[in-house]
Amino acid sequence: MIEVKNLTKRYGDNTAVSDLSFKVEAGQVYGLLGPNGAGKSTTMNIITGCLAATEGAVIIDGHDIFEEPVAAKKCIGYLPEIPPVYPDMTPREYLSFVGSAKGLKGSALKEGIESVSQITGIKDVLNRVIKNLSKGYRQRVGIAQALIGDPDIIILDEPTVGLDPAQIIEIRELIKELGKNHTVILSSHILSEVSAVCDEILIISKGKLVAGDTTENLLKIFETDPVTEIQAKGGAEEIKKALSSLEQVKDVKITDAKTDGTVTAQVTSETGGDIRENIFYAMKESGCTLLSMNIKKASLEDVFIKLTSDEISPELKEKLKLAKSNTVDAENEEKEENPDESGVC
């Protein structure tokens, strides 16, 4: 659907995006994730034809965005970071402008405005002037603008910024709904949002793609030895001793010991197998009262912080490379299986 090849964008000496390549398949929701200034918006602006790239190519549904911009842009609905609305217009006027610029006419235009305002919930404000609308409604008008004309690809730059929690949930539901028959790319630095709605995650840091995979796979790469955090009442030394004596336990760390005798400890155990039951009996035997137990899993937050920190450990790099080469191999295998298809391409 979208193919980004070796994309580079330089502003003078400053490189915003460097050698970025990825592919977006049809009918999936992609999340572009990265810290501030990572190059998310720049990448989206280039994909949608708002900016020219210094080097590289973007192919949208077979059309190069630089060579055949009009054909390529017809496939895209884009919501930039700041909703590009005209404050002096009403949403109806605004949508009718965008719709007619996308080639809708007459009753098709009217129906388009009706349906997108229904979807985004702006029906009540259609005839009010945009400058009098709240930020949340402006954002919705911006999303409605991207949806009008029913483009195959919808690109949303931080779509939930400025919305209240109820609206955020609504918009997320909307994006999930859109993902069923559209290709959606959204950028965000809110991880829970990305993990809630996206099928695939592309993590960008300093203009480079550091990881691109499904949420589960990313978490798998970062899977470490399971850590169980427990809280118990009793002597710190006593607890440590009892826990260390367990067979699968690799390491016990006392993280907190309060004066009332509540001790918090982190137990690192071998991969595979749940040791909570063993911990329970160990505590019981040592005469300590177990208050709570829970297994800590690597979260997307950890993945994100590890990937976007200044230095990625060589070990991690190796893992990522392996994951990448696996996907490349899989692609090659697919191609070999369908030689006709690759010939057409």
Residues in contact with other proteins by CB under 8 A are: 11, 45, 48-52, 69-71, 73-74, 76, 78, 80, 82, 84-89, 93, 97-98, 100-103, 145
CB atoms within 10 A of CB 35: 16
Q: Smallest gap, in angstroms, from Cβ of residue 337 to other proteins? A: 36
Helices then strands, each counted (H, E), the chain: 13, 14
Q: Smallest gap, in angstroms, from Cβ of residue 99 to other proteins? A: 8
Strand 29-33: give its sheet, edge to edge: 76-79, 153-157, 183-188, 29-33, 200-205, 208-214
Rounded to an integer, what distance in angstroms lies between the CA atom of residue 245 and that of residue 240? 9
Q: Smallest gap, in angstroms, from Cβ of residue 85 to other proteins? A: 7
SS3 244: helix
Nearer to other proteins, 142 or 212 (CB): 142
Nearer to other proteins, 27 or 103 (CB): 103
- H-type alpha helices, the chain: 40-47, 69-73, 91-101, 106-120, 135-147, 165-179, 191-197, 215-221, 236-244, 276-286, 300-308, 314-337, 339-344
Rounded to an integer, what distance in angstroms lies between the CA atom of residue 132 and that of residue 248? 63
Q: Smallest gap, in angstroms, from Cβ of residue 75 to other proteins? A: 9
Q: Are 1 and 155 in contact (CB under 8 A)?
A: no
Q: Smallest gap, in angstroms, from Cβ of residue 123 to other proteins? A: 21
Q: Smallest gap, in angstroms, from Cβ of residue 317 to other proteins? A: 34
Is residue 75 within a helix (H) or strand (E), and if so which, with residue range? none
- How are the residues of the chain apportioned to helix, strand and coil, as percentages rounded to the nearest 5? 40, 25, 30
Q: What is the DSSP string of 278-291?
A: HHHHHHHHHTPEEE
Rounded to an integer, what distance in angstroms lies between the CA atom of residue 250 and that of residue 317? 25
Nearer to other proteins, 98 or 194 (CB): 98
Nearer to other proteins, 86 or 281 (CB): 86
Nearer to other proteins, 52 or 328 (CB): 52
Residues in the chain: 345
Nearer to other proteins, 59 or 243 (CB): 59
Phi, psi of 162 (to 5 degrees): 85, 5
Q: Smallest gap, in angstroms, from Cβ of residue 128 to other proteins? A: 13
Nearer to other proteins, 101 or 295 (CB): 101
Nearer to other proteins, 98 or 283 (CB): 98
Nearer to other proteins, 130 or 210 (CB): 130
Q: Smallest gap, in angstroms, from Cβ of residue 319 to other proteins? A: 37
Q: Smallest gap, in angstroms, from Cβ of residue 42 to other proteins? A: 11
The dihedral built from the CA positions of residue 161, 199, 15 and 322, taken in this order, carries a sign that is positive
- 264 pairs with which residues across the strands? 231, 256
